[in-house]
Amino acid sequence: MIPGAADPARPAAGRFAAGRLAQYNDRMATPIDPQSPAALARGREKYGPVAALLREMYGVPEWRPHLSPLDELVSTILSQSTSDTNRDKAFDALKARFPSWEAVRDAPLDDVIAAIRPAGLANQKAPRIQEVLQRITAERGELNIDFLADLPLEDARRWLTSLNGIGPKTAAIILLFGFGRPAFPVDTHVHRLSRRIGLIGPKVSAEKAHAIMEQIVPPEDYLVFHLNLIWHGRQVCHARNPKCSLCPLQDYCDDFQARLPRAARTVEP
């Protein structure tokens, strides 16, 4: 549990009135552009109280970068479709087996596969890592991506997503956690909660959600809100059988409100 966080098992039903959001919580009979002014205004109106409640519940997570940007890139590739624990096991095994990223780049593929097997999908991730390291060397003359700190943000994002296996989420993680730059990563927890709450539309893809969330959340809050959404997704708002009775976001959550009897709704979805 995050130090200083409130107990996630604390009942919260009825504590937070949200009737003033009724005008924003109409799902609208006619679908609208998820990046339209109306949709973004609705997301921003929800963001304030939702972020405040999550901070009350989990506190303000502190983040101190502990990996170099290149380490963060490789770690993030390893994290795809696996748990944080398995990612860390694979990353540590890779660092223990090879003395440098140059050694990983030039190693027999089977050796890299064996080292990162704890992360799963090793047959896919190993050649992807080597290809990325080879591409960086070919373009930069060395294995170093610190130059991304000086590029305009969108140029840095485009360069990262031009690498094989680096999509919007991976690029945003590298920019936010590796460089401290204002990019908002949307992982499976963030995507699920953002749609359920109604920060983004119910049919918005994870790929499109990055740009929308970056317009809804203030840049200085990207890291805290990203981490608190993940924590809430792991503790309360599970993909299956979410613990809605324990959730302090009930009055602001489209999904929860839609499942209430009409007379009990705080807002009308």
Q: Residues 121-168: pLDDT tens digits?
A: 999 999 999 999 999 999 999 999 999 999 999 999 999 999 998 999
The catalytic residues are 169
Q: Is the pLDDT of residue 254 over 70?
A: yes
Q: What is the mean pLDDT of residues 34-42?
A: 87
Indicate whether 220 belongs to any domain. Answer: yes
Please check whether residues 149 and 195 belong to one and the same domain.
Answer: no
**Residue 262's pLDDT is what?**
62
Residue type, 134: Q
Q: Would you tell me how many other CB atoms lie within 10 Å of the CB of residue 51?
A: 17
Q: Residues 186-223: pLDDT tens digits?
A: 999 999 999 999 999 999 999 999 999 999 999 999 99
Q: Which of 148, 179, 210 is the last residue of a domain?
A: 179
Q: pLDDT class for 260, splitting at 50, 70, 90?
A: confident
Determine the structural domain holding residue 92 and report its residue range. 69-179
Cα separation, 118 vs 82, in Å, equals 9
58 contacts: CB under 8 Å, gap ≥ 6? 2, 5, 6, 8, 228, 231, 232
**Cα–Cα nearest to 149, from 160, 163, 141, 135:** 160
Q: pLDDT class for 53, splitting at 50, 70, 90?
A: very high
Q: Would you tell me how many other CB atoms lie within 10 Å of the CB of residue 177?
A: 21
Indicate whether 192 belongs to any domain. Answer: yes
Q: Is the pLDDT of residue 183 over 80?
A: yes
Q: pLDDT class for 62, splitting at 50, 70, 90?
A: confident
Number of domains in the chain: 2
**Residue 7's pLDDT is what?**
42
Please check whether residues 190 and 175 belong to one and the same domain.
Answer: no
Indicate whether 158 belongs to any domain. Answer: yes
Cα separation, 33 vs 203, in Å, equals 11
Indicate whether 2 belongs to any domain. Answer: no
Cα separation, 260 vs 258, in Å, equals 6
**Cα–Cα nearest to 256, from 51, 50, 57, 55:** 50
**Residue 5's pLDDT is what?**
41
